[in-house]
Amino acid sequence: MCFSTRKVSYSRVGQKLKPSAIASVMTTALENPNILSLAAGFTDSHTLPVLDVGNAVKDLLSRPGLPECLQYGPNQGRPELCRQVAKRLMEQDGVPFSKEDSKKVFMTNGSQQALFLATQVLCDMGDIVFVESPSYFVYLEMLKGQGVEARPLPIDEAGMIDHQSFERELIAMKQSGEINRVKAVYLVSYFSNPSGESRSEAEKVKLGELLQRLDEPIAVIEDAAYRDLYFETEYPARSVVSLDAFNGISCLYLATLTKPFATGLKIGSGFCTDQEWLKRILWLKGHHDFGSSNFTQAILETVFLDGGIDRQLGLIRRVYSEKMKVLHTALCEEGLVEIGWKWRIPLGGLYLWLKAPNSLDTRMKSAFWKACCCNEVMYIPGDLCYGNTMQCFDYVRLSFGVLNKREMVEAATRFVKTAKDFF
């Protein structure tokens, strides 16, 4: 039977939904298998932890008693895994771990689901979330899909939060009454997707102090998806949930367990300092799916306890550090800097964030985009990474996650060749 044709009538959200930019990118890539993609934030397939996963499954399925890992688990997540996640976070932040901390953790279908749940619980259509410029484009798409405004946090020329301007803006909103629409500040604060930059502790503290002074019910969502993916050393900033400046402010810290391990397992986590918000997030999760896969959680729990997560991190930090250098070097050697492109060498993460010269338009369907497709190389256009009112058409995000080194050099060559045609 073919698809039916009668139209159903959609909700306001249903009407607002649009395909993700990444879907268009993937479609283009599928149409031409010769394309080398520096677009998707997929991870390196050669280093996936086949042995660790295999051993964990063998261990889990050979335990005496009933195979509880194949049965439903709790909505909030496996208690031992929640405990491990809380403990790890407290260790990373260098603060003491207490039992209470485990109760703040919940497991989700990737940290993306935690973002969705937290946002739907807070935001109605027309509400506002402040985001960095640039920010994580999938979250920006989600906000748009839910009719929520992604308003740019004032950022200075060095890319730091401009606290003074932000405070002025918030006070003006307080006076106009618009402040009730402001629900959260969203930070991608460790080796950001896409910029690769991190927020210093001092910057976060100032933000916390500002929000304390403002004294409005505004939450802070800190997305730390790339925190573990540093190349040489950890980024030395505690998370908002461990900073005194955020005492009494509702904070949600997001991490992924599987991006730096095996994305196919698709488990993320949230750590929420506000019990009431957390409760509502979990009630909504009950409506989504009443719990993420207990089996993949059990695998992660086993690998965690066995030290496998840290082993894998040790491996992929070296691998991504090298892959970043390969891409960076290839771009340089092909002469991209000479024709005016600029980027900083990141200290972690999966991306190079390039600024094109001469306000080159890099948007999807731009002449440059089409030329790249023609030359069989793909990227994420930077304009996707900006909130509602920002217009930045001359950035490009390149991922060094997926391709192997040989492919990456070839992709860089194609990219620079195209860039030269536009110089």
Please give the residues from 171 up to 210 whose contact with a second copy meets the rule CB under 8 A: 180, 183-184
CB-wise, 291 or 382, nearer to a second copy?
A: 291
For a second copy, the binding residues in 340-399 under the rule CB under 8 A are none
Nearest Cα to Cα of residue 260 among 113, 418, 43, 3: 43
Q: What's the min distance (Å) between Cβ of 421 and a second copy? A: 32
CB-wise, 16 or 342, nearer to a second copy?
A: 16
DSSP state of 384: G
Q: What's the min distance (Å) between Cβ of 323 and a second copy? A: 15
For a second copy, the binding residues in 138-167 under the rule CB under 8 A are 138, 141-142, 145-146
Please say whether the beta carbons of 287 and 66 come within 8 A.
no
Q: What's the min distance (Å) between Cβ of 139 and a second copy? A: 9
Pairing of strands 149-152, 128-131: parallel
CB-wise, 147 or 159, nearer to a second copy?
A: 147
Residue 129 forms beta bridges with which residues?
150, 184
Question: Does 48 help bind a second copy (rule: CB under 8 A)?
Answer: yes
Residues 24, 27, 32, 70: which binds a second copy (CB under 8 A)?
70
- 385 CB burial (10 A radius; 0-12, 13-18, 19+): buried
Please say whether the beta carbons of 268 and 114 come within 8 A.
yes
Nearest Cα to Cα of residue 140 among 393, 353, 343, 382: 382
Residues 27, 178, 213, 286: which binds a second copy (CB under 8 A)?
286
Q: What's the min distance (Å) between Cβ of 10 and a second copy? A: 6
Residues 168, 213, 279, 370: which binds a second copy (CB under 8 A)?
279
Residues 85, 106, 110, 150: which binds a second copy (CB under 8 A)?
110
Convert 117-180 into a string of H (helix), E (strand) and C (coil): HHHHHHCCCCCEEEECCCCCHHHHHHHHHCCCEEEECCECCCCCECHHHHHHHHHHHHHHCHHH
Residues 37, 102, 109, 135: which binds a second copy (CB under 8 A)?
109
Q: What's the CA gap between 1 and 191, in Å, rounded?
A: 49
Question: Does 73 help bind a second copy (rule: CB under 8 A)?
Answer: yes
Q: What's the min distance (Å) between Cβ of 367 and a second copy? A: 28
Q: What's the min distance (Å) between Cβ of 314 and a second copy? A: 18
Count of residues engaged in binding a second copy, rule: CB under 8 A: 103
3-state SS assignment for residue 107: strand
CB-wise, 112 or 198, nearer to a second copy?
A: 112
Q: For residues 180-213, b (16+ Cβ closer than 10 Å) or e, as one string?
A: ebbbbbbbbbbbbbbbbbbbebebbbbbbebbee
Question: Does 53 help bind a second copy (rule: CB under 8 A)?
Answer: yes
3-state SS assignment for residue 7: coil
- Taking every pair of Cα atoms in the chain, the longest distance, rounded to a whole number of angstroms, is 68
Residues 37, 102, 112, 312: which binds a second copy (CB under 8 A)?
112
Residue 256 forms beta bridges with which residues?
268
Residues 83, 88, 104, 206: which binds a second copy (CB under 8 A)?
104
Q: What's the min distance (Å) between Cβ of 357 and a second copy? A: 33
Question: Does 287 help bind a second copy (rule: CB under 8 A)?
Answer: yes
Please say whether the beta carbons of 383 and 360 come within 8 A.
no
Question: Does 91 help bind a second copy (rule: CB under 8 A)?
Answer: no
Residue span binding a second copy (CB under 8 A) among the ranges 227-235, 274-282, 309-317, 342-350: 274-282
CB-wise, 42 or 393, nearer to a second copy?
A: 42
Q: What's the min distance (Å) between Cβ of 236 and a second copy? A: 20
CB-wise, 122 or 255, nearer to a second copy?
A: 122
Q: Indicate the residue type of 327.
A: L
